[in-house]
Amino acid sequence: MALTFYWYPKCGTCRKAKKWLEEQGIEFQAVHIVEHPPSKEELKDMYEKSGLELKKFFNTSGQKYRELGLKDQVKTASDDELLEILASDGMLIKRPLTTDGKKVTVGFKEEEFEKQWL
């Protein structure tokens, strides 16, 4: 199954990850994370499959995250509330977000991509 690769074309890390996937000859469908963000249900599914804490899905270095003062909310909000917030704006999601429907990677670390996608 081809990967779904949620990315933001202006993001340097996303471009690096995309180039890595292309160099490895890995089939993927690139989805613009701001124009077509994953739904709350898709995010919930990815979160459950990732084994990561939900706060790892937030783009904590993003302007939007700081503007909305999410640092404190992330500590106290329920998973359901956090998923609702994430689904509301693709810029709040740490990217690239990559999945094959079974496994999920958040962000781009070459070692992690090698382990998951090769």
pLDDT digits (tens, 9 = 90+) for 32-46: 999 999 999 999 999
Tell me: pLDDT of 107 over 90.
Answer: yes
pLDDT averaged over the chain?
96
Tell me which of 11, 31, 52, 91 is the catalytic residue: 11
Range of the domain at 83: 3-117
The total of structural domains in the chain comes to 1
Place of tokens 């990967």: 3
Residue 87 phi, psi (nearest 5): -70, -15
Q: What is this structure's pTM?
A: 0.94
> In which residue are the tokens 């977000």 written?
97
Which domain CATH number covers 97?
3.40.30.10
Fill in the amino acid letter for 103: K
- Angstrom CA distances, 51 to 26, 57, 71, 82, stand at 23, 11, 21, 16
Identity of the amino acid at 90: G
11 a catalytic residue: yes
Phi, psi dihedrals of residue 31, rounded to the nearest 5°: -125, 125
Mean pLDDT along residues 7-30: 97
